[in-house]
Amino acid sequence: MSPTLRLLLGVFLLFPAILTAQKNRPAQQLEMTPLPAVPTMPDAFPQVVGTQAFGPAYKFTKDPAVLEAAKGISAMGSRILKIDAVSGGQLTPYIAMPFTHYVVWYRSNDAWTKGLTPELRRREYNAMYLFTKDLLTRYDATGKTFFIGHWEGDWYLLPDKDVKKDAPSERIAAMIEWFALRQKAVDDARAEVPYTKCRVYTYAEVNRVRDAMKDGRQRMVNAVLPKLAVDFVSYSAYDCQLLPAEEVRATLDYVNAQLPPKAGLPAKRVFIGECGLSWKACGGDGAKHEQRNREILTKFLSWKPAMVLFWQYYNNEVVAGEQVGFWLVDHKNQKTPLHATLTSLFAAQEEAARELRYKTRRLPGFEEMAAFSENWLTAGGAR
């Protein structure tokens, strides 16, 4: 038996104990409900770990920078792509690539913050409705899954980023109205289109959770999420990623508890939209950068979310002419040790899934793959 299959089977044997240990709140009992499979891609499974491409500060080919980065992400073996889609047509070159899950910022702006006028309501509804309808209609045969959302919502509520303040009530009300409109547009499109394989979900992204959880501040997580019918929540989790694992899990439980229940979806509807330490924060030490980010990933994976996404493939931040280093590939086109680790993880996932399907005629669900990935990263790779 190969090391990867032994590790995955070990996860399956331990999974009942893992679930028992995590049932701290009966109302939040973990459900083994996998994300949609991709019928036309028989080896597809929820990969869970991934990365993204936003505003790269450099590139090395004639391709647009984000497309170049997406090709690099795919070459690693990643099934997940997160990008900005200002318009639906911008996704076209990425659909033919072998990604199964797409996480996109769509119409992520602050036009709604002073209230939605009738014209803004019309434009927002029509754009979300038509985008969703187009995805479900044109790409149903691909069986791909799309998550439509936005950038860090708490900064929309706190434009001056003063975390000592509560979010203004008028902005909170405007955000709730904005989300309700977006969700209705997606729900209406899903109700109208007779799709069978493709899936389109909404998500809302929070980023100042600890302010609410520990300090009682009015934030998106406690003032907005309880009023929404959104499908999933993305957590840009820099405010908790360095905490002990048990506190990280408690924070994710807190976020998940704010969501009203929704039929047909997993009990845990929070995924990690952003996390990671920069090269500069790790002193420019590749081994330290790999180790500390591997530890961050394993902490989030221990909660068994649907996705954990590292920020990001190419760096996007340059301060005083210096690359901050949110990267897997640097500005000199050098791959980091973390790039090698994630590439090896993706290969190990593929091997384990293939062997599991051969032996059991099924592929792992996302919680099983999260557990496999956590154990693999904790062990430093398969032995």
pLDDT averages per 10-residue partition of the chain, 383 residues: 59 48 39 39 79 97 95 96 81 89 95 93 96 93 93 96 96 97 98 93 98 98 97 98 98 98 93 98 98 98 97 97 97 98 96 88 89 94 53
Under a CB-based contact definition with an 8 Å cutoff, are residues 220 and 153 in contact? Answer: yes
Alpha helices (runs of H) in the chain, residue ranges in sequence order: 3-22, 65-75, 92-95, 118-138, 153-157, 169-192, 209-215, 220-223, 245-257, 286-301, 337-360, 366-378
Give the C-alpha separation, 339 to 329, whole Å.
7
Amino acid present at 4: T
What pLDDT does 7 receive?
62
Query: Tokens at residue 115, please?
Result: 């209230």
What pLDDT does 37 receive?
40
CA–CA distance from 356 to each of 5, 13, 221, 286 (Å)? Answer: 7, 13, 38, 34
Amino acid present at 189: A
Amino acid present at 355: E
Best CA proximity match to 300, nearest among 329, 274, 266: 274
Which listed CATH number (1.25.40.10, 3.40.50.300, 3.30.1300.10, 3.20.20.80) goes with 44-337? 3.20.20.80
What pLDDT does 357 receive?
87
pTM for this prediction: 0.90
What pLDDT does 88 receive?
60
Distance linking the first and last C-alpha atoms of the chain = 12
What pLDDT does 3 receive?
59
Domain segments of the chain: what residues?
44-337
Helix, strand, coil percentages in the chain from 3-state DSSP, rounded to 5? 45, 10, 40
